Chains A and B, each alone.
Chain A
């Protein structure tokens, strides 16, 4: 993995006089040279609008843009590129499902089921839809270790449930949810399942056909791609049924004075000039991840988490949230250090070149469930090493001493 680290030029710098240790990849990942070069090359040589130019540059841009879609299709094993819609990111993907499919299908008295561990972007769209439709919003309860049991899933989903929206990997607890099993139970009751894969797509293999999910969203910037590009996967039959929510150029078939028709999938959901460079960059990121292998990335992070958990335990005064079993979690650790507020901790670590996240992680209902207002989070990716974790642990020890003994 040391060779891989060299491909991330940003990691090779000093921050506040110390070599940078970047442990905030769950917020956004760093970008390898390979991806940056592809974006640069697109602007240097091919930049043009897609799907309308008769000229050569227009063709090149369109080929790269659509070529990236095929790479993404393969990456999550979708049946067809018709099922791969470019969006701005996971938030837009999930909101699109709520305001198109959700609005078209959910009626008064229907149920929408989500979980306590949802990021605000997979919570508020459903909460607002439920309010608008007078539907019932239900939550999967969490076990003490921050997991959801299939028994809970079976007891919560009913024949009135129309939509089940759940994260594949929690951005706070690190919990990996049994999506395939939840999908099966949802389908038994005639509901569709919508999956937030923002924390999963960068870190573990996803096969949408095997999982048999109906909709799934993820973001480019958390998986070595640029910001402002993401994906909404939807089963073709469902996407055919639903109306677009954005109208304009690129997405129309015929426009008359009083009515219009839409382009076929996936373009009917891609109104306006899209984020062409972003899509091509995401395609390059998919190439990069595929070359390394998602299994290898998952294994590497698993090792780091296991090591970090045991090293952090030795410090004393650290509370760790989410499952203790490293097999049940993805590559992040949310924690608190007794006597030191997470913001203070993040500042102390930053002064030592270590970047972590502090706050509520866009999951206020989950924070309530955890009975804390803020936590610290260290998140790992393929470019992190055991030395990074040693630096983190040293920083935590230093912070503990600084706040508890100096003052």
Chain B
């Protein structure tokens, strides 16, 4: 920013003694320099953001989930995140980006960006006018990677690896690409910024990422069934240390996820950064207090789970709400998700092993609805002067948000069920009882996570 100012000042003083023909050229040079500086700033921030979001998957989520499972499944669980870094990337490069962000119907993109044709240094003004489209593409790829990785929380410790690869591939095509297109793609049904019929405010992916994966996770948990011995046999996290490290990496990485969704190094990015951080903090505290009151001791698992719940809930709201509402959204998410993973899960008895539904599905829904309440044009004038959420006087936005949630959930439920049926027919989804008892590290990967003999 100060480089822009000093450049301007210098050129203006130089202008004072310039000839008329010179003036035009100098103004044009000034303009170019300013744009170039802004672009450089935007691109630098976006590349860092992309790296931060990838870090959320590896090692953030890998560690977070890895620590929560039993020792005999630690590698298999980490692999469920890691392999997606590779698999989704290749799919995205060939056709994924095109289906998500290409030009097509309100429901899915077309083939115009297949094999990343025309995705290069030139910006795509529909999405991000100041950065190369390739930057936008690689940034979005990191979202595409982490979304399916979240689902693995539901079927941890009992899913066949071959089935995972097939499942994830199909899930990208049937659920993620359509949802990403609907919310963020040009012409998408729910795209508020680009004229969607049902404008839904989802700044960084509460619906696209968290509701789709969270609801899909529930379907998986129900379809695959409970782990052998659940809930009577103790299945404690084998390393809360790994999980805590993972949760911290998720928190830091989330700045790339939310603030990076501003697609520029702008004051909106700052606003989203602040909202994100505040929500995480408030949620960690509220879950901790809720648990302390309920069980008598504030667990570390509770505190870190709370922070993740807050981060999930603020995801759709991050670029639309003020800091104080962000604290409120976080606090609400902490308590709500605490109830979901303790009371509700116990009541219905499903084995959502790592609470993908309880935190991401539920937290994402809460966040999306609260976005309809607290979104304000004072933070983000996306609709050119029109009111955004309830606080702006547009209470009806909550209904649009609900529609977005319903579509995400519907797509997740139907898509996932169909995909599970296919996978079961082709390779069989659930590990055999012997494989489950031996542990997936050995049975699926022929390895052990920890070999303490020297």
Real complex partners, A and B?
no
